[in-house]
Amino acid sequence: MICPNCGSNFEGAFCPNCGTAAQQPNAASNMGATPPVQPNMQQYTGAPVPPPTGSAYGVQERNIALCIIFSLITCGIYGLYWLYCLTEDVKKLSNNPNGTSGGITILLGIVTCGIYLWYWMYTQGDAIDKVKQSRGIASGNTGILYLILSIVGLGIVSYALMQNEINHLAK
């Protein structure tokens, strides 16, 4: 077949030089046939494929100030959503799909009147430290810091510090 666009000789549904679809001699002969598949123009043009959008780890960076403001304005309801997101983000960063989900964390926190969240703070800090160590970044005992801040009633500060670490690790 000869390409009507560039004049090259080819076989198949598309011209390998310019990507133009082959012309069918008779439209009636095409009845019941499957439509031709659109070509991947990248293979013809040699243009680079654009990188995927978003974080490579699937973690969304969040504005810490807005998270705090929304938590205060909604009397803690947004804080529950933030807790869910923090749990899921740390699971993604630490590559631990079998970890406790954000929904279970919220449920256990409510059922235990917040005592489970002290344990959660410590384990999240420990998981963040392990991710930092695996990437060769110096880390301390952030789990203990998060735990102490939570015990003295500054859990939202722990959330903010944790979100800051997640934002840095997500890059």
Question: Does residue 33 carry a pLDDT above 90?
Answer: no
Burial 8-34 (b: 16+ CB within 10 A, else e): eebeeebbeebbeebeeeeeeeeeeee
Find the range with the poorest average confidence among 7-16, 21-30, 154-163. Answer: 21-30
Higher pLDDT, 18 or 47: 18
pLDDT range class, residue 22, cuts 50, 70, 90 = confident
- Among residues of the chain, what percentage have pLDDT more than 70? 78
Average pLDDT for 102-122: 95
Helix-strand-coil split of the chain, %, nearest 5:
55, 0, 45
Mean pLDDT along residues 117-146 = 92
User: What angle do helix axes 115-134 and 77-93 make, rounded to 10 degrees?
Assistant: 30
* Percentage of residues of the chain with pLDDT beyond 90: 54
The structure tokens 């630490």 sit at 94
Rounded CA-CA distance 70/84 in Å is 15
